[in-house]
Structure 1
Amino acid sequence: MPSSENREHVGESPRSDRGGRGPIGRSTWPVERWGGSGSILGLQGLDPAFLDLVEETTRRLLDGEPVDVEKLVEEHPDWAEEFRSLVPAMRGLAELSAGVEELPASSRDEDGLTIFGKFRILREVGRGGMGIVYEAEQVALRRRVALKILPPSLAMDPRALQRFQLEAQVAGWLQHPRVVPVYDVGLVQGVPYYAMRFIEGGSLADLLGELRLLVEDDRGASGLSSAEGLAAVASGLLSGRLAPSRREGDGSRCGPAPALAPAPDHTDASGPPSIGRRAYLRAVAALGMDVAEALSHAHDQGVVHRDIKPSNLLVDLRGEIWVADFGMAHVQGDAGLTVTGDLPGTLRYMSPEQALGKRALIDRRSDVYSLGATLYELLTLRPAIPGDDRQQIFRTIAEGEPAPIRRLNPAVPPDLATIVSKAMARDPSNRYETARQLAEDLGRFLDGRPIVARPVGPLSRVWRWCRRRPMQAGLVATLVVALSAGFAGVTWGWREAVRQKRRLLVAEREARAEAAKAEAINRFLIEGLIHQAEPASNPAEEPVTLLEVLDRAAARVDSAFPGHPETEGAIQLAIGRSYHSLGEYHKGEGHFRAALECFESLRDDGEGQRLEATSELGHILWHLGRRDEALSLLSRALPEARRTLGPSHAVSIQSALYLAGVLRSWERLQEAETLYRASLEDAGRALEPDPRFLFSARFHLGEILLRRGKADEAEALYRELAVEQRRELGPEHPHSLTTLNNLGAALNQQARYDEAERIFRDCLETGRRILGEHHPDTVTALYNLGHVLVAQGRLDEAEPLIRRSVEQRRKSIGPEHPDTLYVTSSLADLLRDQGRLDEAEGLLRDCLAAQRRVLGPDHRDTRQTARRLDLLIEDRSRSAPAPSTPPSPSSSSINLP
């Protein structure tokens, strides 16, 4: 159905003088830019602000308002000449009559009504930039229809004609109970038309206006007459006397159609009108489900609407909703049925990818976003993206976030707010993948079943906080890195409870207990971490460091949850992971041990969490260089996890990946490879495969290939993995950077030094910005850049980089950690190449003694250092430098569970 912003749908006079019913900040009668006056007057490609002026002037002329041209010229002197030249054309467009003058010459019946082909014209319903709509009767069938024509003045514009044809054809294809059906399409004396079902009522935009009047004026239903159609619908929705009935998945009714009726005694219909009533909120969810099902049908037919908004959704007098106006639709596989050249959609309801012109990203998820924005407005009576200024709206879409729904309307149930928030996620990958998924979640909400969408947690809130405060972006981005691992473990028990409830119908009280625990954890993380980084909590001018924020939160945890060891254990686990991700391994160890103690006190009830904490403790001990302890813990944890939880359980896969890493560091490559491949298979068989595990197993298999000298195979694997991680995680996610680091190592092994150097420089620059100068991954990139410079003979450039990497590792993980010893040996080899033999020999002898103690005499790193010392001694005996044997670049271990 046509856009109701142009009043092209139902039985209210287009000249009604009742105000306040349109979207906030817009007149009841705007002319749409897409195919509107700007298109008709041939103004494509001009300054958007100038087009706004032209369209506003045309709208006022269409409404019969006086326009002072000279005053407008004075206010906009830069456009004076262009504006004056368009005034005659704007007046000509406005002089289109409000009657039937645009119809071709035709006969009249005995009542004096105009006959247009098969139709008798009863009255004009509305007009706008894309045609005129009449209420008409299809004479032969005595059927009332909405008849839309494209008058000659508009048909001269090729794109207007193309949009008109598209709208008719697409609506004609789609056969769904909530899509306005098309009955007939044709020409009468060269005038295009199509006839569709007449929807008596109004648009959702009109209904929103009525709702605002009722709520703001607090006048209730008593001030309304039954003839005021949409006002009665609005009153019925607010009072609970009108509620859309449920539909099956195919759109068929689950029960009788709704009708206005006295409110039963048990409803919350008493009192003044309010959008906080349960009946109204459920009605909004039901309307949203109907629209989502209609969109799902359209998407299944390859049609993306691209202009979902309140004015393109019609509501009849029974409270039923209809999807209309497919004039901006994109039809997959048929470019001839897609209007091109303009930005599709209406700005306030556009998805970010539409508003920012990212055409390649516009797909069915864009419709999901626009429907979410529409539901947001129904739940709050405020637009999700407020403001009247076009540039301000652009800025909000590009940089801002809608206010939380429950802040504006606390009565909205958390599950319903979560559904709408997921539909409106800025990143399309975080939205519902399909409109069908959105409809199903709304159905779950209405049925009182658990929804699939999850509330926005601390991780997502941090990213948004970071965008609002760019001066502290580095701090908070690092916090996200910490929580990306930490919070995943915090919510493990809660996610498992939801899954078990679906499979085994766990008792409701258990699910509530898990939800309460998750809420307590959320609150602690937000208050203990994020709020401490806010300027209000830190009045000093110097920004607080991440480590200070984390230390403050860690200091509170021991006393924050007395008598609740499961909740405290989950927090201890999260903080341990956070310290681990920051390279603060000694601090992380203490929190993992505290978590393990909490979970052990739960006995059988904490089995899964106990094994998870054991696995994390083993992993961090490995990073601390205590490999024997790590091997012992993980070797016990893995078989126990597989036996009690199953091989595809997250803890089992995590333990296998960690144990494989320890085996790899001991050069037990075949055992490590077997575990990595088993983890990959187990992760793929999981009920809900976790992409982190799939990424991690493939990443480490690439390391095995590098160790075996199969650099070309490793390169292919890392290139494929890098593409997937950029798409799923983003190009600056720490895991994406680690994969790039190893891609550089694979290129270096193939002597492709220029390519490797570019990658290492990118990793170092991004790591410093996102993770910080001292983070282990940044230090690894620093070393690798130095190494590739050595390979190119640029020793003086390389020496300070490798020396700094040695210093950083000594400070963070200790002088005898295997990684510290590895880079120390490399520094000594570089010094030998520079002829600084005394300094090099001292480093090599100390390094070799430590490696023999820590790794043993047969370890690869020990043998390499011994070989370097032998070469240096030969150099001294011959008094001539010998060629060095540079090591492979460091291949860092990704911190994935």
Structure 2
Amino acid sequence: MTPEATDPANSAIESLVEQCLDALHEFGPEGLEKTLEGLGRAEATVRRRIAVLEERGLLVTGHAGPPLLPDHFGRYRVLREIGRGGMGVVFQAELPGLGRRVAIKALLVSQLLMPKARVRFQREIESIARLQHSGIIPIHDFGEESGVPYFVMDYVSGPNLSEIVGEIATWDSSERRGPRLARYLGLAGESNDLTWPQVAADFVGQAAEAVAHAHERGVLHRDIKPSNLMVSDQGRIVVVDFGLAAATESPTLTRTGALLGSLPYMTPEHLRGAASTTDVTTDVYALGVTLRELLTLSSPFADPDPEIVRLRILAADAPSPRRIDPTIPRALESVCLAAMDLNPARRHPSARAFARDIRAARDDRPLSIRPPGPMARALRWSRRHPARITALGMTCLLAFGLPVTVAVVQSRNAADLSKALDETRRWAADSAQQRAAATRAYVRASATIDEVLSRLAFDEKLQGDVAWSQLGNWMLDEAAKAHESLGQGRPDDQNLEVNYLEAGTRLARFAIGLSRIDLARATLERTLDEAQTAAERLGADDRLVTIQLTCLSSLDELFGVLHDTENRLRVGRRRLALCETLMAPESRMRALVDAQEALGRALLQSGHKSESVDFLERALAPRRRLAEASGSPRDQRAAFDLALVLRAAQDPSPVLDLDAATLEEGLRIHDALWQQHPEDPRWTSELARYLRAAGARLAKEGRGDEGLALSRRGLKLEEGLVAAFPRNQRIGESCALAWVGLALQLREREAWGEESEAWLAAAAQFARLQSLDPADLDDRFMTAMTRHSAATALARLGELDQAAVLRARCAGALASILEAGPDGPPQTQDIQQLNADGLVAIIDAIYDEPDRLLRIARRLEAEAGQPGTPDFEATALAAQSSRFLAIAVDAGASPVER
């Protein structure tokens, strides 16, 4: 091998040239230019190499004329070109006399000037020769023709998965299942129940098995993508193009800034330059992207600009598969998202494990990947039961605020942090001068961690966004690793000790917000132990006691949401004992009240009501004194909420019924908080809830005008929040429920017209929420239920045309919920029967009016064809149109009218 071929710097330049050639082939001249501009200091060198190729006429794009290659290779005569990439070209050829068709892969002429390219081509031959699997085409022959290396394989006539995806994406959704799909794939004998997600999973599962075979024999593919997965004549998947393959143990996998593979399928860690080596998770990630592309029939990071593609990969900026197509099974989506996790450690550990999970998803068996954590399940439960959460909110505060979402952290943070940590370790010595230098470096590193964490901001506009959540998890992992490094190298200084421990409490809070329960608990318990040890070593320091109390408070909240009452009681009693060690009287009093209240809540959750009442009563009096002394609305709110919790502990009824006076007091307190912080959505939301509850209570007590005024004011605040945070599910549901409450008040006043408008507004809100997550059966049910109520109100007004449309849509939604299985709300069948009775009542009311029946039939048919109408609603609208048409005929509609 020549020295040039083994020189790391030259190897990196060759890899960058290949990357540019791939960009030219995939994105054209503009893509080439953007790739060159992103090479930094290597740009000038790579431009010179590209210019040499251009001068010699060796730059061939996908739209150029025939390549400069022989018309035969050894005994084989070339028939036509099949495909090409930045490195090689594949031909269909035949062996004269025998008529045997084969595929020949040859190195592009432009690559002949690069010694490393020949080495890679030889490595591809050697890699494939090591493999014996039905999903990998064997090599039959190899050699050189006119200086161009080549090898010969079986010819596969079938399409690749990229071509199949392009074809099926043009079909209507109804055609992507059953007979047509089976015929297109040559599976005519298969069941009519065949669906595209099943086929996609089977195809990628076969590919994963072949890739696993390669991994187990020490070969990484490194360029998995749909166009490299072909369908054989027998309908089986064949993995092709091992041009970037390398041995799993090969030291040549270490890169110096070069990127290998096809951009849309590259891992985030390689684009960041954070991965010095490639392992099996590189192929697992590409298999996950491929599975997602097949399931959704679209590339997750597609964009004509390569730089945008790169940024989208780094941010995991792709909607979850079920947001694009709700018919995709949840288990397959979970497999796909796990394989594409930003953190390689959370992906499937092998292609074999990925293939097993695909089979488990298909067979409805448990997956090996981690299911949603307990915090995520708790938050999901709160969304599924908004009425219960509203009731609980009036009696006791939930432990957590909104989930944490994040903003992108600038790349300089990582560089600053790395530099500061290196300096900290370098100067960690005994002399005073070195300790001072270490202290300065430590402070810079700690400040950088704080900057990273500060960017993990509470931003409701991004709530529920999978991409931001994934990026947030990666940033959290980086901050956790940095914090751990600081713990190992920090100078012996009491102030820095406190700084380090306080950063641990902040890190844990962000971990809780991202539902990283294990990380949060481990960080809190470690910080708690270290703070206790530091306090024993350094002596009395309220700051160290406060850090311990903060850790215990967060653990109390954590165990409360997890319903781990044993641990919650343990930390509650420890927290109460610790408060006595605080030196500052006011701090001790506040901490003691907080601890007593927390322990009372924990005892109430564990069923120890009498002991709970004792601690809550002990806390209430000083809590009220603190509120009176400070005059702060926050302290007043804390005292008010504690009083509600105490009443709940003393009241045997499951839901506390608050009187008007109590609600008005809560309204006054929350109004004051909102006046102080009108831009804070938390207090706006709280005030709106109290306005709604107080309005309903006044209406119940016969003060209807006052009640309506309060409800309308609350609704105005809710709609303002929806406008500011349109993707926030909790805010959207709260606004929809506010419309429901207003509709019920209007019904009591027999204001049928305004009632129907309120029901329609509530239905519109729930329908909007349903569009954000089409697979959510709860939002679908609430949309149907509010439409049913609106139809009832409209029928009272005689507006039967609109009532019939609403009931038809309602029928379709309810039927789809029942078809989905037992996960839907239990009231579905009851509402379905009431809705069906309502349709019958409409028909009975106008049975003798054929013209009107015919008009409704036409309107139902028109609504079924409206763009954006869900399939289940369109089906029901069409069915009811046929029903009304048949009844119109029976009632005497003329042929012309029909």
TM tier, shorter chain? 0.3 to 0.5
| TM-score when normalising by structure 1 | 0.44
| TM-score when normalising by structure 2 | 0.44
Higher helix share: 2
